[in-house]
Amino acid sequence: MTITMPDGLIVVAKADCPTCRLVEPLLTELAAAGALTVYVQDSTEYAATLPGTLYDQTLEHSWRLGAEFVPTLIRVENGQEVARTHGWHKGDWRAISGLGETLGKTLDEDLPEMRPGCGSKTLEPGIAESLELAFGDVKLQSRQIDISGADDPIEACYERGWSDGMPVVPPTPVRVLRMLKGTARASHEVIGLMPPDLVPCTVEKVAVNAVMAGCKPEYMPVVLAALEAALDEAFGLHGLICTTMFGSPMIMVNGPIARAIGMNSGGNALGQGNRANATIGRALQLIIRNVGGGRPGEIDRATLGNPGKYSFCFAEAEDSDWLPLAQERGIEPGRSAVTLFPGEGVQGIIDQKSRDPESLVRSIALSLRAVDHAKLAMAGDAVLVVSPEHARVFSEAGWSKQRLREELEQLLLAPGKDLIAGAGGIAEGIPERFRDKQVPKFRPGGLLIVRAGGTAGLFSAIIAGWAASGPIGSSPVTREVTL
Amino acid sequence: MNETILLDPTAENAPAQRARLARPDSLQGKVVGLLDISKPRGNVFLDRIEEQLAAMGIVVRRYSKPTFTRPAPTELKQQMAAEVDVLVEGLAD
């Protein structure tokens, strides 16, 4: 923003800064030599005898001048800044003031060569964002809701229906501005039409909901990538929100961003206790609720739901033996990405006896039959989460992830006669026309494998997908995270 | 931090109450569309409605969405809006 600056010298100072006090007597010399404006951030008594002294109580002048330290000395000619220094550097002050070696001649003592200054009040915690909101270019568009009548802002958020049932962080303008610092994208940019209400979702609305979810600004690139992936046509978010079935968007994160923001891919990776895991997944859910209007009991018709609808987000424990999920799905090595999957709950596979891949793969295949229903096939996709101790059984025998998937696919072929409706005395089942066929459990590409979890425990986990998987409903979508 | 001003996290379309179209007094002379959203057995429900409407001498046109998991394609919505006066949709199985 351009401002009109008074020609001559400008000094920005703070009375409680010792270096500002050191230069205070010199200001009389500067004022005598030419035009001088002094902006004082904290007091009416600093340099009070000089005609050009102003108490910068709102800090607007200091903010517009971009002062980071006090004292700051600026020379302005024809409305343009031509020189600046901060702190006390005798040489700089002599040069910029134009007084040369005569500067300080009215003092009894010799001036030191150099004294560092203090931080400008404009940069104190909580103040910088308030100043930017008051005087800056950022204009937040969201409706402002005055809750001054409420005694507790968290309760006010509950009353307005903005919560998933747990407390949300009140989305104040300052918090939202801080959140927007986490992305280079403009606050008014529209990410897409948010189902089920199909309303435009801006980066700012993402930030508001990310604040409420408890995100740090540095999580924003992951939240935005997750939202973009969820809004991909192939993911079918609209139907997933509205279905009576269990699924809801689950976020799997790959690449350096996961470590950079401290995500958990190790012990309890699918559980609670890690801020990034917990709040990134929750932010997406709150966007669905608040922006999209996808609320349970309304258009979210889930019969039972699942606890992942509060939040379901984790990182893959990448190692050199197995190709990370994102790379299997076309992302370059060294890049970060999210993969969205319409996940249900977590079903554990406990196999503490298999020590060779042939036994363990059979064990896992048998457990995978339970996805949707042991007699259903090619309906829901699934994510197989292999813990490090189980993964080691495979990798020590030279089995890649791909090999494991192929072996599972073979083992999961079943005679149609066992799966058709009515077989085994169970009415549920696949159509009669599959009676004489070998039927795969999953559609092609319907089984995803990731490595995650703590280093102790011969367990893996199945996360079943939506029974309407594939083009009919939802396919997993991977999206690169851009900073 | 001042917490008396909060930013609305919603699409801010909550208060806009959309008025419904007036219901026709009679179906006589009207074209009635029946939209199958492609959920199992939706056709059973709609077949019966078609039978009953046809018995009353009302013109019926049938439509179906490619999949129940997504909103109807724009072309389908435009086609139905152009061809019928009233639409009945079978929402779930």
Residues A175 and A286 in one domain: yes
A145/B13 touch (CB, cutoff 8 Å), yes or no: no
Higher pLDDT, B71 or A298: A298
Dihedral-angle region of residue A192 (phi above 0 means left; psi in -120 to 50 means alpha; beta otherwise): left
The minimum CA-CA distance between B91 and chain A, rounded to whole Å, is: 11
CATH of the domain at A105: 3.40.30.10
Q: For residue A181, give the 3-state DSSP assignment.
A: coil
Give yes or no for residue A483 having a pLDDT over 90.
Answer: no
Domain that holds residue A212: 154-480
The closest of A341, A337, A333, A336 to A312, measured between CA atoms, is A341
pLDDT averaged over every residue in chain A = 95
Edge-first strand order for the sheet with A447-451 is A346-350, A459-464, A382-386, A447-451
**Is A362 inside any structural domain?**
yes
B7/A176 touch (CB, cutoff 8 Å), yes or no: yes
Residues of chain A contacting B67 with CB distance shorter than 8 Å: 239, 468, 471-473
A171/B2 touch (CB, cutoff 8 Å), yes or no: no
Give yes or no for residue A53 having a pLDDT over 80.
Answer: yes
Number of Cβ within 10 Å of residue A98's Cβ equals 14
* CA A93 to chain CA mean position, Å: 45
**Is A416 inside any structural domain?**
yes
Tokens at A388, concatenated: 């490090």
A144/B67 touch (CB, cutoff 8 Å), yes or no: no
Per-residue pLDDT reduced to its tens digit, A424-476:
999 999 999 999 999 999 999 999 999 999 999 999 999 999 999 999 999 99
Please report, in angstroms and rounded to a whole number, the separation of the first and last CA atoms in chain B: 51
Chain A touched by B40 (CB under 8 Å): no
Binned at pLDDT 50, 70 and 90, residue B1 comes out as low
Which chain A residue's Cα is nearest to B69?
A: A239
A334 close to A443: Cβ distance less than 8 angstroms: no
* In the block, residue with structure tokens 């046109």: B61
Last residue of a domain, one of A135, A162, A188: A135
pLDDT of residue B17: 43
* In the block, residue with structure tokens 């799905």: A329
The minimum CA-CA distance between B18 and chain A, rounded to whole Å, is: 14
Separation CA A289–CA A282 (nearest Å): 10
Tokens at A301, concatenated: 């018709």
**Is A111 inside any structural domain?**
yes
**Is A19 inside any structural domain?**
yes
pLDDT of residue B2: 67
Which chain A residue's Cα is nearest to B5?
A: A146
Per-residue pLDDT reduced to its tens digit, A248-258:
999 999 999 99
For testing the chain A interface, which of B1, B6, B39 should be mutated: the one with the most A CBs within 10 Å? B6
| Long-range own/partner contacts, residues A298-304 (CB < 8 A, 24 or more apart) | A299/A196, A299/A241, A299/A242, A300/A241, A300/A242, A301/A242, A301/A243, A301/A244, A301/B92, A302/A243, A302/A244, A302/A245, A302/A246, A303/A244, A303/A245, A303/A246, A304/A246
Binned at pLDDT 50, 70 and 90, residue A1 comes out as very low
**Is A3 inside any structural domain?**
no
**Is A141 inside any structural domain?**
no
Residues whose CB is less than 8 angstroms from the CB of residue A413 and which lie 6 or more positions away in sequence, other chains included: A438, A439, A440, A441
B70/A238 touch (CB, cutoff 8 Å), yes or no: yes
Residues whose CB is less than 8 angstroms from the CB of residue A268 and which lie 6 or more positions away in sequence, other chains included: A274, A454
Residues of chain A contacting B68 with CB distance shorter than 8 Å: 239
Tokens at B85, concatenated: 């006066």
**Candidate from A388-392, A422-426, B88-92 with smallest mean pLDDT:** B88-92
Residues A364 and A404 in one domain: yes
Residues A350 and A295 in one domain: yes
Binned at pLDDT 50, 70 and 90, residue B41 comes out as confident
Per-residue pLDDT reduced to its tens digit, A132-155:
999 988 889 999 998 887 789 999
Q: For A143, which DSSP code?
A: P
Residues A125 and A204 in one domain: no
**Is A149 inside any structural domain?**
no
Residues whose CB is less than 8 angstroms from the CB of residue A367 and which lie 6 or more positions away in sequence, other chains included: A347, A349, A462
* In the block, residue with structure tokens 């189980």: A390
A172/B70 touch (CB, cutoff 8 Å), yes or no: no
A205 close to A293: Cβ distance less than 8 angstroms: no
Alpha helices in A65-202, H assignment, sequence order: 90-97, 127-135, 153-159, 173-180
Query: How many beta-carbon pairs under 8 angstroms link A with B?
Result: 95
**Is A147 inside any structural domain?**
no
The minimum CA-CA distance between B70 and chain A, rounded to whole Å, is: 6
Give yes or no for residue A390 having a pLDDT over 60.
Answer: yes
Chain B touched by A474 (CB under 8 Å): yes
- Beta-sheet pairing, A199-202 with A190-194: antiparallel
A208 close to A219: Cβ distance less than 8 angstroms: no
* Domains held by chain A: number: 2
Tokens at A205, concatenated: 């609305």
B6/A240 touch (CB, cutoff 8 Å), yes or no: no
For testing the chain B interface, which of A187, A472, A474 should be mutated: the one with the most B CBs within 10 Å? A472
Mean pLDDT of A94-121: 90
Give yes or no for residue A420 having a pLDDT over 50.
Answer: yes
Mean pLDDT of A262-277: 98
Residues A365 and A228 in one domain: yes
Binned at pLDDT 50, 70 and 90, residue B16 comes out as very low
A238/B68 touch (CB, cutoff 8 Å), yes or no: no
Higher pLDDT, B42 or A214: A214
* In the block, residue with structure tokens 């993402």: A206
Binned at pLDDT 50, 70 and 90, residue B19 comes out as low
Residues A129 and A196 in one domain: no
Residues A190 and A124 in one domain: no
The minimum CA-CA distance between A127 and chain B, rounded to whole Å, is: 9
Residues of chain B contacting A208 with CB distance shorter than 8 Å: 7-9
Mean pLDDT of A185-195: 96
**A171 → closest Cβ in B9, B13, B67:** B9
Tokens at A163, concatenated: 């919560």
**B3 → closest Cβ in A153, A209, A239:** A153
Residues A90 and A118 in one domain: yes
Residues A190 and A107 in one domain: no
Per DSSP, the residues of A301-342 read --SS--GGGT--EEE----SSS--HHHHTTPPTT--EEEEEE
Mean pLDDT of A55-71: 95
Chain B touched by A205 (CB under 8 Å): yes
Tokens at A67, concatenated: 């002062």
pLDDT of residue B15: 55
Residues A315 and A412 in one domain: yes
For testing the chain B interface, which of A127, A133, A143 should be mutated: the one with the most B CBs within 10 Å? A143
Last residue of a domain, one of A135, A162, A191: A135
Mean pLDDT of A311-317: 98
Separation CA A399–CA A403 (nearest Å): 6
pLDDT of residue A207: 98
Residues A167 and A54 in one domain: no
Residue type (1 letter), A354: S
CA A315 → CA A14, A79, A260, A364, distances in Å? Answer: 47, 53, 12, 22
Question: What is the predicted ipTM?
Answer: 0.74
Last residue of a domain, one of A108, A135, A162: A135
Q: To the nearest whole percent, how much of chain A has pLDDT over 70?
A: 99
B10/A290 touch (CB, cutoff 8 Å), yes or no: yes
Chain A touched by B74 (CB under 8 Å): no
**A239 → closest Cβ in B1, B8, B68:** B68
Residues A66 and A160 in one domain: no
